[in-house]
Amino acid sequence: NAGVMQNPRHLVRRRGQEARLRCSPMKGHSHVYWYRQLPEEGLKFMVYLQKENIIDESGMPKERFSAEFPKEGPSILRIQQVVRGDSAAYFCASREGGNTEAFFGQGTRLTVV
């Protein structure tokens, strides 16, 4: 059973371009969380999704950021018109329903130049 898979591991974008980060949850997991982390800092919650639904997007900026978790395929975190301040590590975690533990992917390190 493969773990949570994130790709790409590293992404470089020029200012103004779009960044698409993918997260394939573990098999059977229908809950996905996205977090952002700056160097030497903690995990900042962005968005929580279940299949085809956004449960909580309170940590995600209203502009330029969007997330989806379709019925088929990976969850996508999309950042439009990236700026230098978007440079960070983005992690996703997945879990089954109920009171089950969550497992993380290896993260995508976004660098905006």
Partner 1 sequence: GQQLNQSPQSMFIQEGEDVSMNCTSSSIFNTWLWYKQDPGEGPVLLIALYKAGELTSNGRLTAQFGITRKDSFLNISASIPSDVGIYFCAVLRGSARQLTFGSGTQLTVLP
Site residues (vs partner 1, CB under 8 A): 4, 6, 31, 33, 35, 42-43, 45, 48, 55-56, 91, 93, 95, 97-99, 101-107
Residue in the block written with tokens 């997991």: 29
Query: What's the closest the beta carbon of residue 29 comes to partner 1, in angstroms?
Result: 12
Q: Which two tokens stand for residue 50?
A: 């279940």
Beta strand pairing call for 10-13 and 108-112: parallel
How far lies 33's CA from each of 18, 69, 83, 84, 103, in Å?
21, 10, 23, 23, 10
Query: What's the closest the beta carbon of residue 106 comes to partner 1, in angstroms?
Result: 5
76: Cα within 13 Å, side-chain hemisphere? 13
Give whichever of 57 and 64 is closer to partner 1, judged by the CB atom: 57
Query: What's the closest the beta carbon of residue 67 comes to partner 1, in angstroms?
Result: 15
Give whichever of 76 and 89 is closer to partner 1, judged by the CB atom: 89
Give whichever of 88 and 93 is closer to partner 1, judged by the CB atom: 93
Give whichever of 103 and 111 is closer to partner 1, judged by the CB atom: 103
Query: What's the closest the beta carbon of residue 5 comes to partner 1, in angstroms?
Result: 11
CA-to-CA distance for 13 and 80, rounded, in angstroms?
A: 11
